[in-house]
Amino acid sequence: MIRKARIADAKQIHKLLMVYAQDGLMLSRSLADIYEGIRDFYVYDCAGVVAGTVCLHICWEDLAEVRSLAVAAAYEGRGVGRHLVEACLDEARQLGLPRIFALTYKQAFFEKFGFRVVEKSELPHKVWGDCLKCAKFPDCDEIAMIVDLPGGTTGGSAKSEEIH
């Protein structure tokens, strides 16, 4: 089951992300960072076990990032990652965000959602704050990808329907 993360999930999220961070596949996130951003996370809950996680991090009024996507090894190949990313894209649409990006080593996976490869230089400089903490900076080997969401707004709030 995909759901928004809860405070009680933070330690399991941290443990799962650290597996990927230790392999150099994503940035390490402290437990404090996870608690501070817990509202940005989704989890795949399997009988109380966090078997997968992802974060939708809003960068600006017209841009967000799908990040911290991790699936426990025992759950790989079951569509967990797909469902987690779909949850982020659904939320982004609801928020009226027109563009979502990801920095990834899994180009083919993100292409299934309509992401396309872009030069990292096309992304605003403000998205690189976390990259400064990375041992690979400035020689990042991740692939920058972006998707335009239908119905996203630029430069303002989406119109809402009046309720009578």
**What whole-number distance in Å separates Cα of residue 158 and Cα of residue 150?**
13
User: What superfamily does domain 2-148 belong to in CATH?
Assistant: Gcn5-related N-acetyltransferase (GNAT) (3.40.630.30)
Task: Give pLDDT tens digits for 65-79.
Answer: 999 999 999 999 999
CB atoms within 10 A of CB 161: 5
Q: Is 133 helix (H, G, I), strand (E, B) or coil?
A: helix
Q: Which of 117, 53, 61 is nearest to 83 (CA)?
A: 53
Task: Give pLDDT tens digits for 5-62.
Answer: 999 999 999 999 999 988 878 888 899 999 999 999 999 999 999 999 999 999 889 9
Higher per-residue pLDDT: 122 or 160: 122
